[in-house]
Amino acid sequence: MRGSVTDPHLSPGPRRLAHRGAVAMASGALLLPLLGAGPSHADDSAGALQRAFATAAAEYHVPQSVLLGVSYLQSRWDAHAGAPSVTGGYGPMHLTDARTALATAPHHGDGTEDARGDESRPALRPEPRLPKESALPARLKTLTRAAELTGIPDGELRSDAAANIAGGAALLAAAQKDLGEPLSADPAEWYGAVARFSGADDTATAAAYANDVFDVIHTGQERFTDSGQLVALAAQPGVAPDTRQLTRTGLRRASTANTECPASVSCEWVPAPYEEFGDNDYGNHDLGDRPASQRIRYIVVHDTEGSWEGVLNLIKDPTYVSWNYTLRSTDGHIAQHVKAKDVAWHAGNWYINGASVGLEHEGFLANPDAWYTEAMYRASARLVKYLSGRYGIPLDRQHILGHDTVPGPTTGTIPGMHTDPGPYWDWRHYFELLGHPVKRTARGGGLVTIRPDYAANQPVYTGCAKSGQPCPAHGSSEVRLYSQPDENSPLIKDIGTGTTPTTDVNDLSSRVSTGQQFAVAGQDGDWTAIWYLGQKAWFKNPKGKPAAVPAAGLVVTPKAGATSIPVYGRAYPEASAYPAGVPAQSVSPLPYKVPAGQSYVVGDKVPGEYYYAVTFDEASHRVVAGKDLYYEIQYGHRVAFVRAADVRVAQSAE
């Protein structure tokens, strides 16, 4: 989707030092001797965050490894300058106060994209029915509870990292006491408290969360946070958590019936309706027989632009649109709505819909500090790995698509295509979790893979809160493109949008994203040129702080004698392939070309396919497969297709 303007009430309160005396006084009953010393650091601000974990562990007698492990899963130890996450979570411990972060803009609620993307039916642009505000669940009010336990004011818990860590430690200690467990020095005895800390209301979600925390404890972690501080958790592979504690948490037993999820995640079935409603209309997806009828080739990553509860209400509306899975930010819980065999209406391109599974992640594109939790990233990665293995989907950016990389199927649809999950989705970290890190694959030469340092890469974006106004400085997965090797030169123009390129957070004209691959078109000092949208596009790529790494692979160029070849937004069959009763779909090129002399990276070779499904009665549904073959290519920010008959394929030069 296109990112909505963010709520002005989301700004954090003023920064103040935590009242440590108040903490000690309010929590005297919980104070016990210090458990284990943390890593040694010099007495300066560089080690302040590490010391805050040690101090909180001492005050509340929570094993420091447990406190660090929980915080890593919540935020990777980042504080986000006191800004809230997508569910109103603050600070390294992600203490939630969702009163400050209620969502107002649901998925597909704005923009002009037809989520179904099938010309054989009238465009589907549903009006979202906003859900009524309901009582907030406990998992969205942990900051209030932390304030009660510690005596620290809400504002300090939001804005001061040390206070926030103390609040999280108090919550863990309280959960341990509620379970009747001792405030033990042994991290293995804190499994139940960690499960309760997740905020989940079922055992499957809580267990998946606790297992992830103890995985972090087993393997250890070390990283520089968004405030530039090094935090370390030494590996403790011998910790064997007492998982029997889960039965004493009082959480309900979740049903995983009907779900298509790996055992390593928490998953429930919340079905999208397949129903008729007046004038031969029906919704909100199509029944199919994948992968027997057609191969599942893609996974599309979306963000919801709305909160969990509201989004789940929308998916139950037959007059709305659909997707296959929704992932919750607080704990990584997953709801499945549409079976993989069926076709959901989510990507805005019917060809992609017919060959993909759509994952919605609770989040907001245009709010850079409405951050995603590590719990959700990990749950998503596990789900994607499972789907990849089950359906043979390669784990690369040509097959794991962002909604923002799905092409417009026709020229008229290009300007209205959605732009989520946007520049603040951390693709580099995501592919590390997928076990396929974005890395150098060649010595140099022909291709590059975009790979900036997410935290340090902070291009200027505008339009997050108000059109034309700069967004807050923030790490990004994307790199900006210029018409010359000069940041004062014009940005690369996308002729398909019909607009002058800008730095707006939703303007994809002149941006490339982590993991995408392009053919090198030139080099000039610290600048690298690539072939992009039929043009030579330049990005800054200094050796000391590279924005891309060398790669090798297959590329396509126009066949001999052709001055240029057409580019398509979908791979539809030739007209002669359609049987009687199924109207032939136009194979209409987009306004783009691949000129002679230019090369574009190949993602896959695919058959021309069209899924005819325009009636509620499945009897008329058909998958039409043609003889024409296509290559998927990385053409601009979005992928595209070229006919195999129009190109020659070669190995990139090194």
- In this structure, the strands spanning 275-276 and 282-283 are antiparallel
The string of pLDDT tens digits covering residues 239-289 is 999 999 999 999 988 777 889 999 889 999 999 999 998 777 898 999 999
Answer whether the bond into residue 459 is a cis peptide, omega within 30°: no
Q: Tell me 190's DSSP state.
A: G
- What is the secondary structure of 234-251 as a DSSP string? ---TT----GGGGGGS-P
Q: State residue 568 phi and psi, 5-degree precision.
A: -120, 155
Q: Tell me 41's DSSP state.
A: -
CA pair distance 122, 124, nearest whole angstrom: 6
* Angle at CA of residue 397, ends 408 and 286, nearest 5°: 50
Contact 115, 102 (CB under 8 A): no
CATH class of 255-423: alpha beta
Nearest to 599 by CA among 651, 523, 527, 526: 651
Q: For CATH 3.40.80.10, list the domain ranges present in the chain.
A: 255-423
What pLDDT, on the 0 to 100 scale, is given for residue 205?
Answer: 92
What pLDDT, on the 0 to 100 scale, is given for residue 580?
Answer: 95
Q: Tell me 554's DSSP state.
A: E
CA pair distance 195, 218, nearest whole angstrom: 17
Residue 45, SS3 per DSSP = helix
- Tell me the HSE value of 420 on the side-chain side, using a 13 A CA sphere: 31
User: Is 22-31+45-115+133-248 assigned to CATH 3.40.630?
Assistant: no
Contact 7, 29 (CB under 8 A): no
Question: Beta-carbon neighbour count of residue 612 at 10 Å?
Answer: 20
Contact 604, 398 (CB under 8 A): yes
CA pair distance 178, 248, nearest whole angstrom: 10
Question: Beta-carbon neighbour count of residue 32 at 10 Å?
Answer: 16
Rounded to two decimals, the pTM is: 0.87
* Angle at CA of residue 443, ends 535 and 531, nearest 5°: 5
CA pair distance 446, 652, nearest whole angstrom: 5
What pLDDT, on the 0 to 100 scale, is given for residue 129?
Answer: 57
* Angle at CA of residue 361, ends 357 and 363, nearest 5°: 150
Which helix or strand (DSSP H or E) is residue 631 part of?
strand 622-634
Residues (pLDDT < 50) of the chain are: 4-44, 102-106, 109, 130-133
Find all residues with CB under 8 Å of 547, minimum gap 6, and list them.
450, 451, 452, 457, 479, 539, 540, 541
Contact 260, 199 (CB under 8 A): no
Buried b (16+ CB within 10 A) or exposed e, 423-445: bbbbbbbbbebbebebeeebeee
Cβ-based burial of 206 (10 A; exposed 0-12, middle 13-18, buried ≥19): buried
Q: For CATH 1.10.530, list the domain ranges present in the chain.
A: 22-31+45-115+133-248
CA pair distance 156, 129, nearest whole angstrom: 36
Question: Residue 468 corresponds to which tokens in the numbers above?
Answer: 């034309």
CA pair distance 373, 642, nearest whole angstrom: 38
CA pair distance 124, 119, nearest whole angstrom: 10
CA pair distance 642, 596, nearest whole angstrom: 14
Residue 593, SS3 per DSSP = strand
Helices 48-60 & 161-178 angle (0-180, nearest 10): 30
Widest distance between CA atoms in the chain:
83
Go through the chain and tell me how many residues it has: 654
Cβ-based burial of 132 (10 A; exposed 0-12, middle 13-18, buried ≥19): exposed
What pLDDT, on the 0 to 100 scale, is given for residue 33?
Answer: 28
